[in-house]
A = this chain, B = another copy of it.
């Protein structure tokens, strides 16, 4: 029997319909390239070491701990940028209906690793920490630009998730407009704060922790990992910092090491439990001009792409998920419990472990 659940952070309704998961499919499944079919180094890949000259000039480099290779993470402008810093932000109107501005903004690629065939799921924790450090350093450098209103950091992993290049990478897009999705979440969080004088997300975290492990996958010192009550898709996963902090840019750097363990373990469990699924990851943060706000709370959203966004979602805006988050969270806890000793220790030991 299905349910219709409301997402308290957006007021959107989603349909949870486990029966839909049993549909027959006539189309062949898309499988990700098996990792052992990919080389560790690919001479024609613009992101592989030795081909640094093929990308636009580096804006950030995190050095490797050893000397070979000589970098751990590189950040470069996107060669096929959706937005560029040489456009005009003046808004113009054509008659009463059409408003536009130039394609102003920043679009960068974070090259996650020198290795062509090591996905986030299999990277070591230090490599993941270097990626998070690169994200945050670029966020904080770009937010100083007063034309920029919002910064979205995201990752597309796998063909169904929309990636065009195999080499592990992330992206950052900084826009002169507030992100549409954030706009909706802002309205809800702001109303909640206006009514209760507290952050919706802080209260939600306390509530989920008080409910035991219904939807909680992991509870570490500084973070909670949950499958949200009104998941838009099976295995949708949120990583929330326990401390109140509206902006990813202001999040204390000293917690990035712990975050790297949590993020890697989440992605590893999806990789193990769902056989290397395609997924998207996005960091939801407040605007760049209101970083200290008391009502928003940055977090990471991870959405495995196990099904296609189709006509019903496009037509109605209502998402249909085929799994209950209570079930998928339980599955992920099982996967974590059976991990090798050196992986998921932070998940299995709990906040005081």
A237 to chain B, nearest CB (A): 13
A-B contact pairs, 28 of them (CB 8 A): A1-B103, A2-B84, A2-B102, A3-B100, A3-B101, A4-B101, A4-B177, A6-B98, A8-B97, A13-B177, A19-B80, A19-B82, A20-B81, A26-B165, A26-B166, A96-B207, A97-B229, A153-B315, A156-B310, A156-B311, A162-B308, A173-B312, A179-B317, A179-B318, A181-B318, A182-B316, A183-B317, A301-B314
Contact of A13 among B8, B12, B180, B318 (CB under 8 A): B180
**A15 to B308 Cα, complex, angstroms:** 22
Chain A residues 1-40 with CB under 8 Å of chain B are: 1-6, 8, 12-13, 15-17, 19-20, 22-27, 30
Q: Is the CB of A309 within 8 A of B309?
A: yes
**A8 to B93 Cα, complex, angstroms:** 11
Q: Is the CB of A152 within 8 A of B312?
A: yes
A5 with B179: in contact, given A160-B308, A164-B25 (CB under 8 Å)? Answer: no
Number of copies: 2
Contact of A103 among B3, B182, B184, B308 (CB under 8 A): B3
Binding site secondary structure of chain A: mixed
Q: Is the CB of B282 within 8 A of A180?
A: no
A214 to chain B, nearest CB (A): 10
Q: Is the CB of B87 within 8 A of A1?
A: yes
Q: Is the CB of A1 within 8 A of B102?
A: yes
Instruction: Give the contact-size bracket for chain A.
Output: 35 or more
Q: Is the CB of A316 within 8 A of B3?
A: no
A23 to chain B, nearest CB (A): 5
A99 with B207: in contact, given A82-B17, A154-B315, A282-B314 (CB under 8 Å)? Answer: no
A56 to chain B, nearest CB (A): 13
**4 more CB-based (< 8 A) A-B contacts, given A181-B315, A301-B314:** A19-B80, A26-B166, A182-B316, A282-B312
Contact of A207 among B95, B177, B312 (CB under 8 A): B95
Asked if A275 is at the interface of the complex by the 8 Å CB criterion, the answer is: no
A343 to chain B, nearest CB (A): 24
Q: Is the CB of B311 within 8 A of A102?
A: no
